[in-house]
Amino acid sequence: MSQAGVISDEQVEILINDVLEHHGYDFTGYSRASLKRRLSRLYSLDKHLSFAEFRYKTLNDDVYFKHFVEGVTVNVTEMFRDPSFYRLLRKQILPNLNTYPFIRIWLAGCSTGEEAYSIAILLKELNLLQKSLIYATDINPTVLEKASNGMFPLSQMKSYSENYIAAGGIKDFSSYYSANYNLAKFDEELKRKMIFSTHNLVSDRSFNEFQLILCRNVLIYFDRPLQFRVLQLFDQSLENLGYLALGTKETIDFSPISATYKKVGTEKVWRKVGA
Amino acid sequence: MRKTAALVIGGSAGSLDVLLKILPQISPNIGFSIIIVVHRKQGTDSLLSDLLSHRTALKVKEADEKEKINKGYIYIAPSDYHLLIEKDFTFSLDYSEKINYSRPSIDVTFQTAADAYGDQLACLLLSGSNADGVNGLISAKKNGGITLAQDPESAQVKYMPEQAILRANVSAVLKIEEMANYINSLSLNP
């Protein structure tokens, strides 16, 4: 099925405008090619008969609008994605945070929570979980509900287990969940140190200071000016000597904050070294 | 007069050999950009760039997100991300659902390139075992672009170019030996 060109460039701008004015969600800084694809995909999946219908429902139907936000944002994620990154967390970054009496971690754009549970597993194995708090935020309340359930498809567990081992895990991965029909339910203990909350990187402010901020594969959907603004928000939210982790194709190079950060190893992790 | 601003080449199983054969014959003075999207395993990015850069005088690099697309460069789509072309001729990356079981998906790059480049686009679909790229060829053609498929008889895996010919009404079907000449001639306002 071809989804190209279902929604025109003009219609993309109309929807962005509607959503900003009526719902207060600001997508103006999103990369257009990707946004256009997401909107065309949603339009086709929901079998709208006309653009007018799509627009009307988006504007007036609050239940549909939640679905709209979920459809427009990308919520593809996995546990221990990029094992070499998680190995760096396990071997170097999290052990360094052990010097703090209390560890605050912000996972921005946590989607359905797979990364939050991956980090909690590392913290537990390093005996740091009891003094840590993971603030897992997302623009989208629907995915946060899923994240707080801590249940992921059982069919994924084989590949997650392989990732976990590649990231330096030595336990039996299946000891962290119980199988329930076709779902894997992760231990409540992991969840006890997570706080789920909506936060919109575009419009919401800094809400705490952290020693580690992770935001992986979110900035790729933003244009340069918005990327820079969000990086400044992270900078305001990060303690001196704290760490910022981005996706494998994202960078702080050329951004306003790059002068006060130092890269850690070969992964996309930077440490705040102060002005 | 028609002018080519970008050539996007897509391929899957059996396409690497074709690229290795044709790249050495592509003129270093082509006045457009070449963007390559091939299906492959994760974590093999630098390998592919290295492999291809030894076969051409053109600069080969992996496409970075928000990077400006320059002529005379060969850009490689990174593995495990979709590669999209923005209207201001920059790249963006997208980690959304696989399309045709593929990420990067050739359809995604062809379609967004068709949007951005219109009739200044050429797309070439090579050997492969699924139909990723065919819908993209249809979009490219609709927007006035040139669409090309490898001659299935010369392909290690025929399915992909066969589907292109069957469904996308391509502008030309090319044997491997004909490809470099055809690509070089795109610079010359055919």
A182 with A135, same domain: the answer is yes
Domain total for chain A? 2
Per DSSP, A92 falls in state I
What pLDDT is stored for residue A72 in this prediction?
Answer: 95
Average pLDDT, chain A: 95
Do A142 and A67 lie in one domain? The reply is: no
What is the reported pLDDT for A6?
A: 87
**Dmax (CA) of chain A:** 59
Distance CA B7, CA B26 (A): 12
CA distance A37 to B26: 33
Confidence of residue B45 (pLDDT cuts 50, 70, 90): low
pLDDT tens digits, residue range B18-33? Answer: 999 999 999 999 999 9
Q: Which of B85, B104, B15 is nearest to B51 (CA)?
A: B15
Which residue of chain A is at minimal alpha-carbon distance from B116? A33
Q: State both tokens at A127.
A: 């005996």
Write down the ipTM of this complex. Answer: 0.92
Domain assignment present for A2: no
pLDDT (mean) for B73-81: 95
Whether A166 is covered by a domain: the verdict is yes
Distance CA(A226)–CA(A213), nearest Å, equals 18
Residue B190, pLDDT above cutoff 60:
no
Mean pLDDT for chain B overall: 94
Of the listed B12, B15, B127, B139, which one is catalytic? B12
Q: In which band, very low, low, confident or very high, does the pLDDT at A173 lie, cut at 50, 70 and 90?
A: very high
Q: What is the pLDDT of residue A246?
A: 98
Residue ending a domain, choose from A50, A72, A94 = A72
Q: Do A74 and B93 touch (CB under 8 A)?
A: no
| Distant-in-sequence, close-in-space partners of A149: CB < 8 Å, separation ≥ 6 | none
How confident is the model at residue A106, as a pLDDT?
98
Tell me whether residue A4 is in a domain. Answer: no
Amino acid B44: pLDDT: 64
State whether A204 and A251 are in the same domain: yes
By residue count, chain A amounts to 275
At residue A144, φ and ψ (nearest 5 deg) are -65, -35
Catalytic residue among B33, B39, B82, B105: B39
Q: Is the pLDDT of residue B188 over 90?
A: no
Q: Is the pLDDT of residue B40 over 90?
A: no
Taking a C-beta distance cutoff of 8 angstroms, is the pair B123, B10 a contact?
yes
pLDDT (0 to 100) of residue A257? 97
pLDDT, average across residues A178-183:
94
Read off the tokens for A59: 């504007």
Confidence of residue B43 (pLDDT cuts 50, 70, 90): low
Clarify whether residues A52 and A119 are in a common domain: no
- A31 and A88 together in one domain: no
Q: Is the pLDDT score of A275 beyond 80?
A: no
Mark whether B12 is an active-site residue.
Answer: yes
Q: Residue B2: what pLDDT?
A: 75
Mean pLDDT computed over A32-59: 96
Structure tokens given for B137: 């060829």
Chain centre to alpha carbon of residue A270: 18
pLDDT confidence tier of residue B41, bands split at 50, 70 and 90: confident
Residues A153 and A212 in one domain: yes
Residues A219-246 have a mean pLDDT of 97
- Kindly state whether residue A31 falls inside one of the protein's structural domains: yes
**Closest to A74 (Cβ–Cβ): which among B85, B94, B142?**
B94
Pick from A53, A72, A91: which residue ends a domain?
A72
A97: tokens are: 């945070």
Chain A, nearest residue to B64 by Cα: A249
Model confidence at A2: pLDDT above 50: no
Same domain, A158 and A48: no
Q: Are residues A215 and A242 in the same domain?
A: yes
* Confidence grade of residue A1 (pLDDT, cut at 50, 70, 90): very low
Q: How far apart are the first and last CA of chain A?
A: 52
Q: Which of B107, B127, B132, B139 is catalytic?
A: B132
pLDDT score of B77: 96
Q: Name the pLDDT band for B47 (thresholds 50, 70, 90).
A: confident
The verdict on A90 and A46 lying in the same domain is no
Residue A183 lies in a domain: yes
Residue A249 distance to chain B (closest CA, Å): 7
State which of A52, A72, A92 marks the end of a domain. Answer: A72
In terms of phi and psi (left: phi > 0; alpha: psi -120 to 50; beta: otherwise), the region of A59 is alpha
Interchain proximity B92–A247, CB inside 8 Å: no
Of A32, A15, A31, A11, nearest to A23 (Cα)? A15
Asked if A166 is an interface residue toward chain B (Cβ–Cβ < 8 A), one would say no
Q: Which residue has the tokens 């030996």?
A: B177
Residue A5's pLDDT is what? 54
Domain of residue A33: give its range. 9-72
Average pLDDT over residues A202-225: 97
- How many angstroms from the chain centroid is the CA of residue B38? 8
pLDDT on residue A243: 98
* Domains of chain B as residue ranges with CATH: 6-188 (3.40.50.180)
Mean pLDDT, residues A2-12 taken together: 78
Residue B46 pLDDT > 80, yes or no?
no
SS3 content of chain A, % helix, strand, coil (to 5): 45, 20, 35
Single-letter amino acid code for the residue at A236: Q
Instruction: Tell me the mean pLDDT in the region A58-74.
Output: 95
The size of the A-B interface in CB pairs under 8 A is 69
A68 in any annotated domain: yes
B39 is catalytic: yes
Q: Stretch B156-161: mean pLDDT, rounded? A: 97
> At A138, is the pLDDT very low, low, confident or very high (cuts 50, 70, 90)?
very high
Nearest-CA distance from B85 to chain A in Å?
Answer: 7
Does residue A85 carry a pLDDT above 60?
yes
pLDDT band at A17 (very low <50, low <70, confident <90, very high): very high
Mean pLDDT over B154-178 rounds to 97
Looking at the structure, tell me whether residues A66 and A193 fall in a common domain. Answer: no
CB atoms within 10 A of CB A181: 8
DSSP state of A187: P
Same-domain pairing of A60 and A95: no
Whether A214 and A249 map to the same domain: the answer is yes
Amino acid at site B18 = V
Q: CA-CA distances (angstroms) from residue B29 to A183, B26, B53, B158? A: 56, 9, 16, 32
pLDDT digits (tens, 9 = 90+) for A93-105: 999 999 999 999 9
CATH number of residue A106's parent domain: 3.40.50.150
Structure tokens at A163: 């990732």
pTM: 0.94
Residue B131 in this model has a pLDDT that exceeds 90: yes
The stretch B43-47 carries a mean pLDDT of 70
CA separation for the pair B97, B88 (Å, rounded): 25
Asked if residue A77 belongs to a domain, the reply is no
Whether the predicted pLDDT of B5 surpasses 70: yes
A114 touches chain B (CB under 8 A): no
B96/A37 CB distance under 8 A: yes
- Band (B48; pLDDT cuts 50, 70, 90): confident
DSSP 8-state symbol, A90: I
Burial code (b: 16+ CB inside 10 Å, e: under 16) for A185-209 equals bbbeebbebbebeebebbeeeeeee
